[in-house]
Structure 1
Amino acid sequence: MDHTQQNRHDEGLLAAIAGVADAAAADVSADDLLHRLVEATVAHLDVDGAGVVAGVAGDLRLVHVSDDGTGAAETLQERLAEGPCHDAALFDVEVVVDDLHDPVQTAWPSYVDAALAAGWASVVAVPLQCAGRSWGVLDVYRRATGTWQQHELHWLRVLGHLAASYLALAADRDDARRARQALQHASTHDALTGLPNRVLIFDRLEHALSQARRRGRCVTVLFVDLDRFKAVNDTFGHAAGDRVLATVAAQLGAQLREGDTLGRLSGDEFVVVCDDLPADARERQRDVDALLARLRDALGRPVRLDDVDVVVSASTGVAHSSADSTAEDLLAAADAAMYRAKHPQRNQPTPGASLRDLERHLARALPEHRLRLHHQPITDATGAVRAVEALLRWEHPTRGLLPAGEFIDLAEHSGMVVAFGRWVAHEACAQLARWRARCGAGAPDTVYVNVSARELADPDLGRSLEAAAHRHGLTPADLGVEVLEESFTDPMVLPGLHDLQRRGHPLSIDDFGTGYSSLARLVDLPVRTVKVDKAIVRGITAAPGGDSRSRALLDAVLTVAAGLDVEVVAEGVESAAQAEVLLTAGCHHLQGFHCGRPVPADELEHRLGVAVTAGRTGAHPVRPG
């Protein structure tokens, strides 16, 4: 090679390197960089064709070939997994073939036939290596046979190494880009369902409100809260609960209009943002009703967990935007509407208060020692107090003492009910122990605490109740548990009931005769006591001779209970006439204002002490009333 040819060769090499460098500087992908490598090689070096593959031996992928018939030979290498390219990658060496006609220089007959048919006579395969990794192989071809000179091979190695270095940089850049994208996605999406999270929901809601104001349209938010989802977690495990959430998310998302946003706010709470709805209330409601119907149908499809089909229901609140709505206002309004739908006629805040205010105060009830217990006696035929029901009260900072009916559903919805229940069990056991120490034989035999379906689904309930009794020197037989009859609509409560019964806690069904349980179901329930609902008690003495249906139901309950050795308590007893009728009919115990109102422990203790004194002096027991 003379001086002029050498200069031309060097200039070509520099131009090839510059082409690859320009591609790397342009922040192109790794595949695009390999495309540029092939184009620069053919354009500036003394070769007739080139091709490049990416990957390692055994898993090579053809990326690019020059437009000169190179494709046939390169494609065959990829398909047959043989040829100079595969050997270069497999043995980590460059493969040089001066003459493809010479069988001594080749060991790939199928490849050689294809290369010769395409007009190629010699080939060099240069591995692209950098940072201890093989990024692929560069193949260069000539149509004429002839020895590849050492300086040519040297510059091919230089070009290949440089390209591999740029590939490593491009790969690092791609990894960093993907990491940034993944981090950004994780900060705005829920990891389990892939749905927008609270951050992205608010962002899209604000954008939707802005657009709606400009266009004179409306935005509607649906707040969807799954019912009794904690019971699914407690019964089937959190992995199964995650599968339910992911399935529900997919089912709900498939029902939305194009442009609507479904997000997961937290836990079992989902939000749907319906953008660009009509301003006319009637038209808008028609669209929303259609969507709600589709969502209900979707939720009605069972989710398969192992060999069990679980049907998930939900409570949904709807809120529509106004001209000055903010994202926070609209979401809070939908949340409040959902809560009203889940708990109709319960836990309504006073005028000027909000559910969020009520929940915020309630969250401080335990740490600020604002929970109280009142106790209502359960008496026998003589009027003696045989048991008490511990009733939770909350000393609200501004509204005073509130009964459980005004806040317990909110506590259950927010998850606070479990902690409240444990506090009640501890305090009830402590008080019974004090009464026994101070009143002796006058103390009640049993103190009953109310337990919700959500608490019964907690696998730790039995252990916590047993521990509360033992801590105060009591046995599980001293601590009874009351469950509302309506709780039996939830199949998750039965395992909890059986666990409590095995531990020795007396079990009682409250409000019996008005809800789910039939008389026959008493056979399956591990209960010691049923409480006849106050509506039946009122019916017995509502008119002269009483209501025949109420009396028939009471007689049926008493008959079945006698056969099952279950005691019957009549609750809601408000008069001596009711007490006499109920005792004559065969009720074992009475509860109600006639027998004693719910009072703080010290007030009831005075009555228990008087009863003890009366017993010691031979006087008749004190009748309540």
Structure 2
Amino acid sequence: MIHESPPPGTWDHRSAAAPPAPDATALVSATAELAAAAAAQIGPEELLARLVGVAAGHLAVDDVGVMVVDAGAVRFVHADVGVVDHVERLQQTLQEGPCRDATLFSVEVVVDDLADPVQTAWPEYVAQVLAAGFRSVVAVPLVSRGRVWGSLDLYRRAVGTWQQHELEWVRLLAHVAVSYLVMAADREEARRAQRELAHRSTHDALTGLPNRALLLDRLEHALQTARRHRRVVAVLFIDLDRFKAVNDTFGHAAGDTVLTTAAARMAATLREGDTLARLAGDEFVLVCEDLPQAAAGELREHVAAVATRLRRALAEPVRLVGADVVVAASIGVALSDEHPDADELLADADAAMYRAKQSGAAGRGDLAVAGPHDRAHRSVRQLERQLGRALPLGQLRVHYQPILEPGGAVYAVEALLRWQHPEHGLLPAAEFVDLAAGSGLVVGIGRWVLTEACAQMARWQGELGPRAPQVVYVNVSARELADPALTGTITTALRRYGLPPERLGLELLESSFLDADVLPSLHEQQRRGHPLSIDDFGTGYSSLSRLVELPVRMAKVDRGFVAGVDSDPRRRALVDAVVTVARSLDLRVVAEGVETPAQADRVTEAGCHYLQGFHCGRPQPAEDLTAAWAA
């Protein structure tokens, strides 16, 4: 029969003798064994195996098995002497039996006689158990934290009623065991989370390949080994050609498919001990270790063979929704025999890749091996790559320079970008803005500056009230003005910080007006109410007829004209002429680069409305200006 809490009776209906009750000493010994196993910080399944041994050693049973619940199904873990292995595994296969019912319904399942005609459940399981020589079974669920973790299964060869004191003993043992099991499971989960965190810190989330940190660590180790054993390390810098077009045409999900497919195909070509890593975007690096020292020609042939294998692996089209994309790559190579450290080796491979891409037809590169000409561009390329990480790493800053009225009152400020470089210190925009423009980073950085300037303007209004500057001018490039998302970025920032459009001015170089896409964007921003300013006015890029078309409100006299204006009559005449032209176009005039009181007096006499320069205030962090104005 089957019951949850069997009444007292005989152990074997053919024998008057009942199994002896386990005494208190045995119970203490059993729990002590489980405690020792838990203290050893073993895993959950090993702890369950110990539970089987403890139960078999202290109970009058012929075999013991244990199952766990895994994704809603029972799974066999361990048996004592192995006799019931196949019947326990049968429960796993059939997903039926006393163990399954115990875990499903969270109750004890007790069968005194499996051969009893009234026993009709689990016929296939019962037949196998009887064939193995067992007549009775108990399945006790392991329950904790409101869930069933598994079951403890006890088998006897003799028919008989399971005694109440036996079941109470088993329940206590199961309760102690599942407490330790939960502890072991928590410990295992913590270890798994720690391993996953460690893996994430050293591997790319999309492709699973090593990231930059792990790559550099392995490369440094490879270089040390190569120096000791007089071997050579080759670094191949791999850039997928026209990958941006894939993202723009098919979307970023398709781009991710291309990256993961390319990574898997390239990884399949590696020798044991080689490392393929993803640096960022569509850039990969392959480190080939343990190459024999040989003539330069032989090494290049070996590297060319590696590059050929990579290209062949990438040649098969990647199937996307609605199209097949063929992936090609530009590859730059650097060899360790001419490089003292990993950073320089990687930088030269990068420079060689860049040269390979430039030399390829229609943007598709070839293979290039690093040489002296690449090392000349190493620092520039390295700075460009560092700039790409400057914004997410929080290294960019915005300083502000006051624009004063001749009497000294603050009219506006100009937001000036700075880069707090980890090695070179605080860099002005002039030292990296061309890199940003050439690499396409200028748009993203410009959006960040706009948002920061609006946030600071709102803070000044709240802290200083009427003493706050009326306008914050932000420099924008022609590329930024041509960006369709510019208006949305500005609108979002103004709405977020509660500013009217007239508080945010846009400033661009006079040379930018040569771009045909600039004028419509300028008119749009002017209609939206933003003050517009021309920087370096009078440097000769624009004809007067073109200037008439521009919807600007303010012009800055170039600092080259202001320098020496107090002592050089020709410079004074030049400033007078530029100011006259600007005022005739109904422009407010700012004199830039005012560094002395004499220069300030002279440009004021010439008719400049505002002054800017070290005499009026150096560019500095917003909090420094706030403190000065508040004082």
TM-score (norm 1): 0.59
1:85-122 Cα deviation digits (max 9, x unpaired): 22222221112223333334664444333323322222
Of 341, 347, 351, the residue aligned with 2:356 is 341
| SS of residue paired to 1:288 | helix
1:259 matches 2:197: no
Using the TM superposition, give the Cα deviation of residue 173 of structure 1 relative to its aligned residue in structure 2, in angstroms: 1.0
After superposition, residues 338-487 of structure 1 pair within 5 angstroms as 338-344=353-359, 354-356=379-381, 359=384, 411-413=437-439, 415-416=441-442, 423-424=477-478, 449=515, 466-471=520-525
Partner SS for 2:34: helix
Q: 1:236 to 1:426 in 2, by over 3 A?
A: closer
Task: Select which of 208, 213, 234 maps to 2:222.
Answer: 208
Structure 2: distance between partners of 1:361 and 1:105:
75
State the Cα RMSD in Å.
4.1
Cα deviation, residue 359, structure 1: 4.0
Letter in 2 for 1:303: V
2:301 to 286, 289, 297: 286
User: In structure 1, how many angstroms separate the alpha carbons of the residues matched to 2:190 and 2:347?
Assistant: 38
Contact 2:442 2:480 in 1 (8 A): no
Question: How many residues are paired up?
Answer: 417
Contact 1:55–1:61 (CA under 8 A) maintained in structure 2: yes
- For residues 352-392 of structure 1, the C-alpha deviation after alignment (integer angstroms, 9 at most, x for no partner) is 983237748999999899xxxxxxxxxxxxxxxxxxxxxxx
Amino acid at match of 2:515: V
Q: Is contact 2:56–2:80 with CA below 8 Å preserved after alignment?
A: yes
Matched, 1:12 2:37: no
Taking structure 1 as reference, are residues 343 and 101 closer, same or farther at Cα in structure 2, changes over 3 Å only?
Answer: closer
CA shift digits 1:559-598 (9 cap, x unpaired): xxxxxxxxxxxxxxxxxxxxxxxxxxxxxxxxxxxxxxxx
Q: Secondary structure at the match of 2:515?
A: strand
Secondary structure of the residue aligned to 1:251 is helix
Q: How does 1:86-165 map to 2 (within 5 A)?
A: 86-104=100-118, 107-165=121-179
Letter in 1 for 2:543: E
| SS of residue paired to 1:192 | coil
Structure 1 SS opposite 2:37? helix
- 1:37 maps to which residue? 51
Matched residue SS, 1:322: helix
Indicate the SS of the match to 2:78. strand
CA contact (8 A) 1:317 1:336 kept: yes
Q: Deviations along 1:603-622, whole A, 9 cap, x unmatched?
A: 6537999xxxxxxxxxxxxx
Deviation at 1:270, TM superposition (A): 0.8
Deviation at 1:129, TM superposition (A): 0.9
The letter of the residue matching 1:61 is R
Q: Distance in 1 between matches of 2:24 and 2:193?
A: 40
- SS of equivalent residue, structure 1 residue 258: coil
Other-structure match for 1:541 = none
Secondary structure at the residue paired with 1:282?
helix
Other structure's SS at 2:309 match? helix
Within the alignment, does 1:220 sit opposite 2:234 as a pair? yes
| Percent pairwise identity | 53
Matches within 5 A, 1:226-265: 226-265=240-279
State yes or no: 1:190 paired with 2:204: yes
CA–CA distance in structure 2, aligned partners of residues 100 and 68 of structure 1? 20
Distance in 1, Cα, partners of 2:315 & 2:124: 61
Output the CA distance in 1 between the equivalents of 2:341 and 2:100.
63
1:602 matched residue in structure 2: 540
Distance in 2 between the 1:244 and 1:235 partners? 13
Aligned to 2:45, the other structure's residue is in SS state helix
> Following TM superposition, by how much is the alpha carbon of 1:256 offset from its aligned partner in structure 2, in angstroms?
2.1
Q: What do residues 47-71 of structure 1 show as CA deviations (whole Å, max 9, x unaligned)? A: 1111111117961112222326323
Secondary structure at the counterpart of residue 204 of structure 2: coil
Following the alignment from structure 1 to structure 2, what is the Cα–Cα distance between the partners of residues 153 and 299?
Answer: 65
Please list the CA deviations of residues 280-339 of structure 1 after superposition, one character each: whole Å capped at 9, or x if unmatched: 123322210100111222233222221212222222211111376211111111111112
What is the rounded CA distance, in whole Å, between the counterparts of 2:71 and 2:481 in structure 1?
73
Question: Could you tell me how far apart the structure 2 residues matched to 1:214 and 1:223 are?
Answer: 25
Return closer, same or farther for 1:414/1:331 CA change in 2, 3 Å cut-off: farther
Distance 2:184 2:546 in 1: 84
Closer, same or farther in 2 for the Cα pair 1:116/1:362, shift >3 Å?
Answer: closer
